[in-house]
Every structure is written in C-alpha cells, then in structure tokens.
Structure 1
Amino acid sequence: MKKVAVIQDMSSFGKCSLTAAMPVLSVMGVQAVPLPTAILTAQTGYSSFYCEDLTSKMDSFIDEWSKLGATFDGIHTGFVTGKEQIDNIFRFLDVFHSNKTTLLVDPVMGDHGEVYKMFTGELLDRMKALVKCADIITPNVTECCLLTGLSYERLLSYQNDTDYIHALKEAGQQLQQTTGANVIITGLNPPAGDRDKRYVGNMFVDSERSFHSIRNYNGESYSGTGDLFASIMMGGMMRGQDLMESMKLAETFLAAAIEATSKEQVPREAGVHFEKFLSMLL
C-alpha cells in the first residue's frame, strides 16, 4: 500500500484538513500518515475555537520517522499557521522527498478575495518557494492571485466569462512556468450572462495544455471542499489516474456532497456531508 504524509491541521469540527484528507485517501487505497501542524477544537470559520500550534513539535515527527526509516510515495501539504511551519516543511522535504515522491502543495492562504488570519508577506514569500518544489499545486482563485500578482478585483470586474477564463488561464500558465508543476485552480466563479444563473468550476494547466470545466452553482460554500478536492487529486495520482480524470472525479464527488448538504441546510462552517459518497471514490 502506498503511503502519503499529510502535513496540515486537525480540526475537530468543520470536516476539513486531516479529517477530510484521511478518509478520502483511505478509501482510495492509500495509507494517510498525518503530521498535524495544529490541533483545533473547530476550524477557524467558527465563532469560537481553541488552537494548539504544533510548530515546535514538527521536528520531532521528522526525527522519529527518520529513526523508523520511513519513506513516502507522496507528500501532501495544506494549512499552515505561518512562515515557521513552511520552514519545517522544507526540513521534512530534505529528509523524505526524493525524485520518486509526489509532492502536492495546497497553498492555503485565503478565499473569496480575503486572506486568512495567519497570512503575512513572509508566509507568501515562503509559500512561493514551496510551490516551486511541487509536482502539483491546487490553489483556489484567491491563492492563484496571491501567487501570481493577478488582481482579484480585476477578475470580479469582468462582464463575460471569456475574459475571466482568459485572465485565469494566463495566471495558471505563469504559475506553471514559474514552478514547473501541474496547476489546478479551484473555485472558478465566472460571470454569467443570465443574472439568475451562477457557475463554478476548476481549471487544469500543465506545460502543454489547459482545460477548464464549469457547472451550475447553487451559491453554497462549505468548509473543507478544497481539502477534499486536493486529497482526491493525491489519491488519484497514487493509483496512477490521469490528472484530468481525477479532477472530474473530484468535481462529481463534491457536487453530490454539496447538493445533499445544501438540502439538509447545514451551516457553512460545519462542512459537507461527504461520508456517504465515499464509495464513489473506490
């Protein structure tokens, strides 16, 4: 069985980060080996939460896993609390990353045009360095803008989907050329000619091609969907799937989970009820 080190936080409530990645990877036939960057009583979208930052403990995982002679087929990084944790990830890569290891970086920094509370200029600089080590990067639109300098406000100003898609495609190609990684931009929300309709989608960019898919959007947004998406991409790579095939699988899975969650009127911060759809990933 292939093993993937998953470096991100563990939030008890919110169905994100490790509590999203581990069941997805497991059902896809991959052993998920967690390295928690923080322990939270609930993800940061809740009105109140306690966070135990584990920055000072990350080196202990590196040391102990080294003693075990551990090796990994994949490394998947997600939410970090700041620049120091990315420095620790670089130390982890020095020990466990080889040319046989697939590295997926989900550059968690913000969403919907807003940066998260832990965001700083130093974190952005280190994240730009980290994505250059990756085989695949899964930024959302906001994070793509942060990594490339594309104006999020400019994107919102476009009146038609052609201009919106073209601008993101250029940004994705820029990011791909800068890093050499495959890039998947999640959470596209292009303008619709019909004001009664909204759309959502994703864009894939590699060195030779680009592809985007758009579907109807019900306006609902939930915690953890980006983590689920990235985890499906990693699981797909571990079992040798084509990246675009994995992207379509992730979209179908999330569409079903979001629709069911919306019907149950679940609060956004609680995350999607994805568990009953895990069989789709077998």
Structure 2
Amino acid sequence: MIGCKRVAAIQDLSGLGRCSLTVIIPTLSAMGVQVCPVPTAVLSAHTGYSEFVIRDLTDFIHPALEHYKRMGTHFDCIYSGFLASAEQIDHCLEFFSAFPDALKVVDPVMGDDGKSYATYTGELCKRMGELVAVADIITPNITEAAILLGEDYPANPLGSSDARSWLVRLSEQGAKTVVITSVNLAGGGMHTIGYDKATNSFWKIRNDYVRGAHYSGTGDNFTSVLIGSLLKGDSLPIAMNRATAFSELNVKITYSYQQPWTEGLMLEGQLPWLTSYQQLDDYSIL
C-alpha cells in the first residue's frame, strides 16, 4: 500500500482568523496529503486583529529539524510561508538543505496591494530572495513579484509580453516553476499566471473573484491546493485551475455571508469539493 504524501509546513498558527496552518492543514488533508506543522509562532488571533497575543517559536524550528533528521523522516515537500525574522529564513534554508529530494515551495509572503507589510524591512525582503533562489516553486502575488524583481508595483495592467518577462525573470532567480497571483492583465481582468521552465510554457487563468472581497488566508488556500494537486501528479495548468477554482468558491461563499475579512475564508463546508470530480479547463496559454 502506498502511503500518502507528506508536507512539512513551516508556518505560524493562529487561534482566530483562518490563515497559515489553520488553512493549510485542513486543505491538504482533504486532498489526502499529510501535513506536518513546524510552527514558527503561536498567536491568539492573526495580526489583523488588535491586541493579539503571540509566542515566538523560532527556537523550536532547528531542534525539530534535528529530531526529524535523527528519525530518518521523509518529506515529499517543504512549504514555507510568512516568516518574521532572518533567523527563521535561516532555519527554512536548513530544512531545504536537509531534504534535498523534497519539493521546495516558497510562498514569499511580504506584502499586498502594492505595499510591503510593516514587519518586512528591506533587509528581510532581500533575505527572502535567498529562499526563492533555492525553491522549486514560488507563488508570489503581484506585489511580492515586484519586490523580488526590484520593480515598481504596476500602476497599469500588464501586457502579455511583460507578464511573460516577469515570470521568466523570477525563474532566473532560481525557481523551476513560478506562479503569480492577482495579476491585472491588459484587456483581460485579474488573472493567475504561471511559468514552467522545463517546458518553457506560460499559462493564465482568469480570476472570477468578487470585486473588493479580500480575506485573510486566501493565498494560503491557493498555494495549498496547488501543492496538493502537483503532489498528486497534476500538470501545472490543471493545478493552477484547481487552486483558482477552489479559492473562488470560498471567496464567493464567504462574501455571501458578509463575513469580516479577518475571519478568513469559510472553507470548512467546501472541503469535499477537493475530492469530487471537476472539469478543469479554464486555463489558456499566456
């Protein structure tokens, strides 16, 4: 009997507000993937709430890694997301080095809507580039892509040629596969775009999200489904399609209940969708 795939998720854990591990664990579990959390911090609620309580767990990450190495643990994927310090980035690099055969996925969480997060200094953004350099797959949003490339946030929609250029330039930093979310393409609205260096192929999927609906953990939702699909053998455009469709479903349902953005996506009732049949043919060549 073949066991399920195993992912080490180096992420924070928030008690209130669906994001990071509280999104990653149920999403990947529903797809038949085992999630082994490596918590970077524990919070009473995510940082979008006021007066949250936090316990930093940076000192936990390295001993956890050493324990896994002593046990001869196998991981099919190492997945990093929001990181709060240069030391945490160092620990992620150690994880990547310790499991060279694992798929290395970096969601370079640094900002959104054209601005970097307050906790991300220029130095920390630069260090994130070190993770990107050794990743197999990166999933920045358009803001984070601009930061990694040293570009201004695009004030106008990107043409297809510019979009392909951004994807290739990001792949030249190290990743074999690049997926950028929240890209406003000229003449086509919001898209997710992707590039597979091995086949030199470019893909796009239109985002049918609710305008103005932003919820915490949406990026975690997207990247988790992308990982689960790829680990199960889906092609890049199929995985992008599945991740986009599931994110759209969750955003629309959450918006219909007029939930505050801090609560995150109401994904619990939609998890069965991940194991049902879907006709995924919304992707096209970029």
Question: Is the TM value for this pair above 0.5?
Answer: yes
User: What SS does the corresponding residue of 1:178 show, helix, strand or coil?
Assistant: coil
* CA distance in structure 2 between the partners assigned to 1:11 and 1:164 by the alignment: 38
1:56 aligns with 2:49: no
TM-score between both structures, scaled by the size of structure 2: 0.89
Which of 178, 182, 189 is equivalent to 1:183?
178
Report the equivalent of 1:126: 127
1:197-220 per-position Cα deviation (integer Å, ceiling 9, x unaligned): xx4320011220211122444221
1:203 aligns with 2:159: no
User: What SS does the corresponding residue of 1:173 show, helix, strand or coil?
Assistant: helix
1:270 aligns with 2:263: yes
TM-score between both structures, scaled by the size of structure 1: 0.90
* CA distance in structure 2 between the partners assigned to 1:260 and 1:108 by the alignment: 25
1:72-111 correspondence to structure 2 within 5 Å? 72-95=75-98, 97-98=99-100, 100-111=101-112
Could you tell me how far 1:168 is from its partner in structure 2?
Answer: 3.2
1:161-215 per-position Cα deviation (integer Å, ceiling 9, x unaligned): 4x4544333211100122142000012234669xxxxx43200112202111224
- Residue correspondences, number: 269
User: What SS does the corresponding residue of 1:75 show, helix, strand or coil?
Assistant: strand
1:225 aligns with 2:218: yes
1:52-102 per-position Cα deviation (integer Å, ceiling 9, x unaligned): 11111211111222222211011111111111100111122222x22x311
* CA distance in structure 2 between the partners assigned to 1:42 and 1:192 by the alignment: 39
Report the equivalent of 2:9: 6
Between the two proteins, what is the percent identity of the paired residues? 38
- 8 Å Cα contact 1:232-1:250 kept in structure 2: yes
Q: Which runs of 5+ in 2 are unaligned?
A: 276-286
Letter in 2 for 1:200: M
Structure 1 stretches of 4+ with a deviation exceeding 6 A read none
> Which is richer in helix?
1
1:130-169 correspondence to structure 2 within 5 Å? 130-152=131-153, 155-156=154-155, 158=156, 161=157, 163-169=158-164
Q: Which runs of 5+ in 1 are unaligned?
A: 194-198
Report the equivalent of 1:234: 227
1:36-55 correspondence to structure 2 within 5 Å? 36-55=39-58
- 8 Å Cα contact 1:38-1:55 kept in structure 2: yes
Letter in 2 for 1:135: D
CA 1:215–1:89 in structure 2 vs 1: closer, same or farther (change >3 Å)?
A: closer
Supply the RMSD in Å over aligned alpha carbons. 1.6
- 8 Å Cα contact 1:132-1:181 kept in structure 2: no
1:22-41 correspondence to structure 2 within 5 Å? 22-41=25-44
